[in-house]
Amino acid sequence: MKKWIDKTWAKVTAFCLLVVFTALSAAGGLGIAWLISEDAYADGGEALRKNIYADVCSPELGQAAFFLWLRSGGELVCRYSYGWAEEGSPAAIPAADLAGQFTREFVDRECSLCLYDMKGNLAMSNHTSVNSKYEQELFLYEGWDALRDDVPSYRLVCTLPASYTPSHLVLQETLLQWRYALIAIEVLCLAAWLFLLVFSLASAGHWQGHEGIHLTWFDKIPMDLWLAGILLLGLWREVKYIWNYLFEWYYLALLVPFFYLLLIAFATQCKAGTVLRGSAIAWVLRLLRRAVRWIVYVLRRIPLVWKTALGVAALLFFDLVCVMNGHDEEYLFVMLAVHLLAGLFLIYLAIGLRKLQKGGRALAAGNFDSPVDTRRLFGDFRRHGEELNAAQKGLQQAVAQQMRSERMKTELITNVSHDIKTPLTSIVNYVDLLKKTDITDPTALEYIDVLDRQSQRLRRLTEDLVDASKAASGAVPVSFSDTDVNVFLAQVLGEYRQRLTDCQLEPVLTTDENQPHIQADGKLLWRVLDNLLGNVCKYALPGTRVYLSSEVVGGQVLLTLKNISRYPLNISADELTERFVRGDASRSSEGSGLGLSIAMGLTKLQQGEFRLSVDGDLFKVQLIFPQIAE
C-alpha cells in the first residue's frame, strides 16, 4: 500500500469505491435493522409476512366496506367508518342488484372479497378463492342501531391466493430469503469500507513529486469553514424536517462525499499541524492581535498630555449623549457608573504617581536600595518607573565602580608609598652620614646638598600622596570638638607670621566680632590652613598683602584666605584642586601639586565645604562650616 500512497489514480479509485461501499453498507444496515425490528431472525419472517399481507388486505376491505355502505343506503356500515355518514345520505338499491354491482366492481382484484351473514351463508363475492395464503376479515353492522348495540350482522372476508406475489413485495421477500447472507455481505462491505477509509486517511497529504506532507489549496481551507458548511448543509431544509430529508437519496449522496473530503482535509491538516493555526478563527484572532498591537503602538507614542486630553474628550462626549437622553433613567445610571469607574481609575493613577514620587525622592536622597514597585503600574507610569529603576541601578553601579576605583587607587598609592619609604629612608640616612664625614671637595659637598634636598622633597611627596589618598577615601579618623574660629586663626597666623615676613608678605587678619564656633578636628583643620598658607608662601607675589578673615553668614561660618599670585593663573579653579596640578609658571617650584587636593579632602571629612575661585591674579579660598552655639 505504501507504493500507492502518493498516486493520484489510487486516491480517486479509493474515493469512488468508498462512495459505493458506503451506499451498500448503509443499505445493508438499514435492511438488517428492519429485519431485526420485525423479528425476522426469530420466527423465520412469519410475523413480517403477516404484517405485509395485512397491509395489503386492509385497503381492500376498506374499499369494499365503503362500497357496500354507499350502495346499501347506509344500512351496512363499519365501526371504523363513522365519517362516511357525513358525506350525505346515499340512495339504496335492491339486494340482487347490489350483489351484481359488487362483483363487477371488484372482479379485477387479485384478492377474493366475500360477504357472509352470521350463519355463514355467502351473500356476495367478486370471485371464489382457493388455496388461501392469507385471510383477513371485517365485521359490518346493519343499521345504526345495530352498530350502537355492538352486534355484528355480516362478516366481510379478504382472501389472498397462494399465487399472490405483487411486485412491491419482491424486495421484502428477497430480504427474508437472504437474511443470513445479508449479514455476511454487510460485514464484507464494512471491512472494505474501513480499508478504503484507512488508505484515504493514510494517503492524505502525500503527493507524487513532493517530500513529506504537501498542502494543496483544498487542504488549506480552514477547518471551521468546513464545520460551517456542515451546519449550512444541515439547515438546508427546515430544522423540523431535517430528519426526514436525511433519508432522501440526493441528500445522502451530497453528505457522503462532503464528509469524505472533510476527513481527508482534517487528516492532512493534523499531519501538517495546521488544524488550529490554519483555521479562520485563528486568522481573525491574529488579525485582531495585530490591530491591537498597532493601536497600542500608536497610543504608546502619543504623549501623556494628549492621552489625557483624549480621555477627557471621550468622557465629555459620553456625558453629552447621556444628557441628550436624560429622560431615560438607564442613561443616567450608566453615566453614574462610568463616572464612578473614572474616579476609581484616577485614584489608581494617583497611587501609581505616589509610588513614582517616592522612588524619585529616594533616588534624589541617594538611596539605591529601594526600587519602584512597577507590578501594578501600566503605560507611561510603568515605563517611567522602569526608567527610574534603571537610573537607580546605573547610579548604584557607578557609585560602586567609583568607590572600587578610589579604593584601588588608595591601596595602590599606599602600597607604592610604603615600598618607596624603605629605600628612601636608607637614602636619607646615608646622606646624613655623608654630611657628617670630613669631605673638603666643594663639588662633592654640592652633590651631597642636592641629594639631601631632593630626598627630603621625595619624602614630603610620598607623605602627601598617602595623606591625599586617605583624605579622598575617608580613611582619616576625625575627632570633632568645639573650635573657636577667631582664636584658631590667630594661632595659625602667629605660627606663619615670620615665614610670611621672610617672603615679603603682609598678613591682614579680620575676625567676626560674634566669636563664631564650629565643630571640627583641630589637627585636620590646622593641616588644611597649613597647606593653604604654604601655597601662599610659595606662589604669592612679594610685597603684597595676605588676607585671612572669619565671618558669619546665614548660620554658617566662612574662613576666607585671599592673596595675589606671583604667576599668571592660566587654569580654572576646578583644575587647581585636582591632584598633581599647578600653574604653568610654577612647574619649576618644589610643590607636589597635592596641597589643595589634600585641603579639600580634609575639609569634606569635617563636614565642611571647600570653595576656590580665581579672578585674574586673585587667588581666593573659602572654608564653610555650620555655626554652633557657644
Q: How many CA atoms lie within 13 A of 206 on its CB side?
A: 16
- Dig out the grid coordinates for 126 from the structure: 367478486
CB contact at 8 A, 76 and 141:
yes
614 and 488, same structural domain?
yes
Q: What sign does the dihedral 452-458-463-468 (CA atoms) show?
A: positive
Q: Is 367 part of a structural domain of the chain?
A: no
Final residue before a domain boundary, out of 137, 164, 191: 164
pLDDT of residue 8: 74
Final residue before a domain boundary, out of 321, 346, 361: 361
Mean pLDDT by 10 residues, the chain (630 residues): 70 81 82 77 72 81 84 70 46 68 83 83 77 76 57 79 67 75 88 83 74 72 74 58 51 68 78 75 85 81 73 78 65 75 79 79 75 75 79 80 76 70 77 79 83 77 66 70 89 88 90 87 84 87 91 89 84 59 46 69 84 85 85
3-state secondary structure of 214: coil
| Residue with cell string 621672610 | 502
Number of domains in the chain: 3
Q: Is 210 part of a structural domain of the chain?
A: no
**Residue 586 carries which DSSP code?**
G
Q: Is 602 part of a structural domain of the chain?
A: yes
**3-state SS record for 19-58:** HHHHHHHHHHHHHHHHHHHCCHHHHCCHHHHHHHHHHHHH
Q: Is 217 part of a structural domain of the chain?
A: no
pLDDT of residue 413: 67
Q: Which amino acid is at 308?
A: T
Q: Is 315 part of a structural domain of the chain?
A: yes
Q: How many CA atoms lie within 13 A of 10 on its CB side?
A: 19
Q: Is 513 part of a structural domain of the chain?
A: yes
DSSP code string of 272-309: HT-TTTTSHHHHHHHHHHHHHHHHHHHHHTS-HHHHHH
pLDDT of residue 246: 47
| Residue with cell string 501609581 | 352
SS3 content of the chain, % helix, strand, coil (to 5): 60, 15, 25
- Distance separating alpha carbons of residues 269 and 204, to the nearest angstrom: 9
Nearest CA to 475 among 345, 375, 602? 602
| Residue-number span of the structural domain to which 521 is assigned | 478-628
| Residue with cell string 583624605 | 471
Q: Is 37 part of a structural domain of the chain?
A: no
CB contact at 8 A, 231 and 262:
no
3-state secondary structure of 185: helix
- Distance separating alpha carbons of residues 503 and 543, to the nearest angstrom: 8
- Distance separating alpha carbons of residues 372 and 389, to the nearest angstrom: 6
Q: Which residues contact 98 (CB under 8 A, 6 or more apart)?
A: 68, 71, 72, 124
Any idea what the CATH number is for the domain that residue 543 is in?
Answer: 3.30.565.10
Q: Is 528 part of a structural domain of the chain?
A: yes
